């Protein structure tokens, strides 16, 4: 039985991942978020939106309860996939600059750090941890400073988690998806004149992650920043 925890399961990408995995036999799925999703029976609900320490404690306590319910050893997860996040624009002169930065730090950095802590205790040796970055944030982002800063921090966290003595189990594989524009209904409504052929489909990402959880031979090198490049069809660029 493959056991996968998705952080951000209520979002468009998280929901697509859960739906894809749910169609496969032998998958046990759990979702972490502020609201439950009907796609899974195992929902970890976080109540403390503005208290990082309390939020982390809530997640760890509920993970331990799931482990107990399953009557498993401590390391019972095959994969932890973090696709929680959100976008905020603005530069240093923007009226809502500080508020926007605060939002993306909570959405991207907090969720990534909690995923790392969950993986340190509950991920099996040789298991998979996937975080979410952004290709645009590998360089300057003056039009979205807070978002660029938050995602760059996730990129650095990925490299650190893949290094020796990171606290992850032996043989763990860590990768960060550098996501551009996702082909979602909301994005199509918001950008109706865009070239949708350059947007990455949710099913492509879900299938990619399923293959990564299916065996080590299909994975990228641990610590990789994996850009999803789409122009008619999708491909990977690793750094």
Is residue 147 annotated as part of the catalytic site, yes or no? yes
Its sign, for the CA torsion 123, 47, 97, 179, is positive
Angle at 42 between CA 11 and CA 23, to 5 degrees: 70
Six token digits for residue 108: 């991207």
The catalytic position among 122, 143, 147, 204 is 147
Residue from 207, 86, 102 nearest 146 by CA = 102
Q: At what angle do helices 145-162 and 97-104 cross, to 10 degrees?
A: 30
Q: Tell me how far apart the alpha carbons of residues 72 and 74 are, in angstroms, rounded to a whole number.
A: 6
Q: Tell me how far apart the alpha carbons of residues 175 and 177 are, in angstroms, rounded to a whole number.
A: 7
Cα 228 to Cα 49, 138, 146, 182, 213: the distances in Å are: 30, 13, 22, 10, 18
Residues taking part in catalysis: 147
């Amino acid at each position: 039985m493959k056991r996968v925890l998705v952080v951000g399961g209520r979002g468009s990408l998280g929901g697509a991942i859960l739906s894809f995995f749910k169609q496969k036999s032998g998958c046990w799925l759990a979702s972490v978020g502020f609201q439950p999703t009907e796609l899974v029976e195992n929902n970890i609900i976080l109540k403390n939106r503005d208290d990082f320490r309390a939020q982390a404690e809530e997640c760890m306590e509920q993970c331990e309860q799931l482990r107990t319910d399953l009557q498993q050893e401590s390391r019972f997860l095959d994969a932890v996939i973090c696709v929680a996040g959100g976008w905020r624009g603005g530069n240093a002169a923007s009226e809502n600059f500080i508020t926007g930065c605060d939002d993306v730090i909570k959405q991207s950095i907090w969720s990534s750090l909690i995923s790392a802590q969950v993986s340190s205790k509950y991920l099996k040796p040789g298991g998979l941890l996937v975080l979410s970055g952004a290709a645009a944030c590998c360089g300057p982002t003056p039009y979205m400073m807070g978002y660029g800063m938050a995602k760059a921090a996730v990129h650095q966290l990925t490299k650190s988690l893949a290094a020796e003595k990171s606290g992850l189990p032996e043989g763990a594989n860590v990768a960060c998806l550098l996501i551009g524009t996702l082909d979602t209904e909301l994005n199509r409504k918001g950008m109706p004149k865009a070239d949708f052929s350059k947007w990455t489909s949710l099913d492509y990402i879900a299938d990619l992650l399923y293959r990564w959880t299916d065996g080590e031979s299909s994975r990228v090198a641990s610590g990789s920043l994996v850009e999803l490049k789409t122009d008619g069809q999708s491909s990977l660029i690793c750094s």
